């Protein structure tokens, strides 16, 4: 199937540039790692829905604020006719955005959304949707934001990782593995033992500007555990663990090469982009050499949190 055909009735009419009719004149900023992320062209109902979803991470800009007052990545939001999008039965469906990569842009198609990222030379975005309010609009924005954060983090030398992030308030751990490896199960075991769950879906690994080892930063994206409440922040990354579910508990160190392979498998979106894969791989290789990595086999009876806490930094 050609690009966009799963989601769009007329994929050949995909916007060739960031233009169109905005939903309104409202603007806001999301203070998420890699940001700030600025959005313009919003209707009041869209702003209110995003304020409810992102809370303190969301800053609404005053109408009189200069359009150049905020740094970061800008995305313009435009109207799109609902008839342009296919009606899909999403029951039991694993949702994956469709991407089309080129040297100067990435096109994205998804459920009730079209988007593009352009490098000219700085990263900017355009988002088209027929959704103007409610949970579907928030879902559109969040799915686009996940991909945008992935690209922005790579540009800063960091990475977005499909993982479970856990913390004791001083250190952070990242738990990796494909679907079914046990990330959510491990998160529940750690949560029951008193750990803080940053996210059981997507986490950011970054190197601070002032130097030092990598940190794991909280992102507002969650999986099966649902919304996780907690202060924004970042914690020194103590270890990366590749998870396996089994009957015999074991903890085996991983070589940097094996850790690198596990990290590549856990880095969504950008790892499919041949034009921008090189800086992603460089960031993952740096991370693999900067932090201890282990393969952890566990079961429901494993005292998982105690194992993590005993791993030396």
Tell me what pLDDT residue 298 has: 83
Taking the complete model, does pTM exceed 0.85, yes or no?
yes
Q: Give the range with max mean pLDDT: 218-222, 226-230, 273-277.
A: 273-277
123: confidence class by pLDDT, cuts 50, 70, 90: very high
CATH code of the domain made up of 159-310: 3.40.50
Percent of the chain with pLDDT over 90: 69
Which DSSP helix (H) or strand (E) runs through 179? none
Report whether 252 contacts 243 (CB < 8 A). no
Q: How far is CA 20 from CA 70, 99, 303, in A?
A: 23, 21, 55
For the chain, the domains span 11-155, 159-310
208 versus 278: the higher-pLDDT residue is: 278
Give per-residue pLDDT as tens, 40-85.
999 999 999 999 999 999 999 887 566 655 678 999 999 999 999 9
Average pLDDT over residues 176-197: 86
Q: pLDDT digit string (tens) for 148-174?
A: 999 999 999 999 999 999 999 999 999
C-alpha–C-alpha distance, residues 52 and 312, integer Å: 40
């Amino acid at each position: 199937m050609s690009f966009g055909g799963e989601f769009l009735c007329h994929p050949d009419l995909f916007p060739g540039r960031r233009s169109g009719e905005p939903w309104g004149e409202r603007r806001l900023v999301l203070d998420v790692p890699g940001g700030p992320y600025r959005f313009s062209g919003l209707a009041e109902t869209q702003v209110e829905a995003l304020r409810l979803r992102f809370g303190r991470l969301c800053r609404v800009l005053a109408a009189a604020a200069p359009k150049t007052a905020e740094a970061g990545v800008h995305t313009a939001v435009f109207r799109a006719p609902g008839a342009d999008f296919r009606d899909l039965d999403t029951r039991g469906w694993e949702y994956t955005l469709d991407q089309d990569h080129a040297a100067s842009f990435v096109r994205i198609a998804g459920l009730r959304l079209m988007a593009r990222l352009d490098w000219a030379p700085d990263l900017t975005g355009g988002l088209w949707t027929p959704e103007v309010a409610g949970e579907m609009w928030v879902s559109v924005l969040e799915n686009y934001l996940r991909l945008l954060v992935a690209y922005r983090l790579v540009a800063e030398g960091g990475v977005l990782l499909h993982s479970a992030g856990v913390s004791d308030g001083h250190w952070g751990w990242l738990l990796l593995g494909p679907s079914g490896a046990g990330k959510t199960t491990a998160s529940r075991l750690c949560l029951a033992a008193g750990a803080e769950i940053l996210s059981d879906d997507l986490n950011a690994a970054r190197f601070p500007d002032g130097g030092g080892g990598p940190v794991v930063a909280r992102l507002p994206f969650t999986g099966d555990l649902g919304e996780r409440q907690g202060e924004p922040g970042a914690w020194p990354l103590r270890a990366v663990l590749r998870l396996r579910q089994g009957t015999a508990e074991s903890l085996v160190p991983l070589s940097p090469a094996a850790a690198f392979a596990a990290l590549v498998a856990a880095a969504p979106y950008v790892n499919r982009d041949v034009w921008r894969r090189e800086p992603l791989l460089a960031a993952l290789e740096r991370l693999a050499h900067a932090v201890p990595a282990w393969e952890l086999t566990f079961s429901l009876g494993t005292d998982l949190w105690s194992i993590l806490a005993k791993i030396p930094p």
